Amino acid sequence: MKRIGMLTSGGDCQALNAAMRGVVKTLDNSKEDVEIYGFLDGYKGLIYSKFQMLTGRDFAGILTKGGTILGTSRTPFKTINDPDENGLNKVEAMKQNYYKLQLDCLVILGGNGTHKTANLLSQEGLNVITLPKTIDNDLWGTDMTFGFQSAVNIATDAIDCIHTTAASHGRVFIVEIMGHKVGWLPLNAGMAGGADIILIPEIPYDIDKVIAKIEEREKRGSRFTIIAVAEGAISKEDAKLSKKDYRKKLEKQVHPSVSYEIAADIQKKTGREVRVTVPGHMQRGGSPCPYDRVFASRLGSEAGKLILDGQYGFMVGYKNREIVRVPLEDVAGRLKTVDPDATIIQEAKLLGISFGD
């Protein structure tokens, strides 16, 4: 009998259910007796022993369902060693619940913060296997994360829809795409949606270069401009500030986000009409796209095989079109950012896309 704990932590995304289904179906088809303990709302469920006993039937019919049947929440790694409001040691509580239930393994689905905690639990002696979930595609050790392609599709649809109204009114339109620290999502959605300007955190922008691109398009007879802006885009001036000074500036920020600041700057300097559209959490929602359904199922299947093989301490990743096993310690605390000199950036520039640099 194998007892498996499972939880989803951090922001939700498409294909979490598909990935869990892949794990459970693989274990069920092995004919080995298995008990599945689904911890509710992420690490909180493991900390406070809130779980449900699940069977294969609970994972039937969820391949196409977005979100997570277990619920999720954020438990910041930076405070994981701090006692809760009642003085509870969260790490010790997770360990105690793991051992109390006599678990053989924890399967944890999540992004960067989730992997830091997962690695900590692994170092504390728990058997842990992780799956790479994030729409940002910023996890180290894997070329792709599930949820990313579905989010690209949604963000691209948003840009596609903006094109017709932008062309009709002859306006500058900004579409704010999720991506606080890295720009993979706005980069891919921007290219797929035909954005004229793409602003990402890794390439600080010069607002005058952004305006120059808008004016260049106007001279060529284009009545509108589409700008895809990462929520974490930053100007060259702000990029020179220390983290402390930048945080102070954000605290005094009068605009809801960087996109509105850029819009205000463009309107002030050029007099052009600018509109901002923020798809927001729509990018996390809905059914997973076919790619993510297949991809998450493959990752889940490999996680199931790791459990059957008794191999722990790994993230199941994707490298050079193959599913791979990546040591957790290599993943935790590392971001996969967009290299400003990457070939995809150079190719985008050859297509005439400006990055405001």
CA dihedral 40, 42, 44, 46 (to 10 degrees): 70
Neighbour count for residue 87 (Cβ, 10 Å)? 6
Contact 45, 7 (CB under 8 A): yes
208 carries an active-site annotation: no
DSSP type of residue 51: E
List the catalytic residue out of 28, 33, 104, 136: 136
Contact 183, 201 (CB under 8 A): yes
C-alpha to C-alpha distance for 308 and 26, rounded to whole angstroms: 9
Please give the backbone phi and psi of residue 30, each rounded to the nearest 5 degrees, phi first: -80, -10
**What is each CA distance from 244 to 32, 195, 230, 249, 299, in whole angstroms?**
54, 33, 21, 9, 39
CA dihedral 311, 315, 316, 319 (to 10 degrees): -120
Contact 121, 136 (CB under 8 A): no
Residue by residue, DSSP assigns 170-223 as T-EEEEEE--SS--HHHHHHHHHTT-SEEE-TTS-B-HHHHHHHHHHHHHTT--
- Which H/E stretch holds residue 275? strand 274-277
Written as six digits, the tokens of 310 are 């008794």
Written as six digits, the tokens of 285 are 């929602």
CA dihedral 16, 19, 23, 24 (to 10 degrees): 60
CA-angle at 68, arms to 5 and 323, nearest 5°:
70
Q: Which residues are catalytic?
A: 136
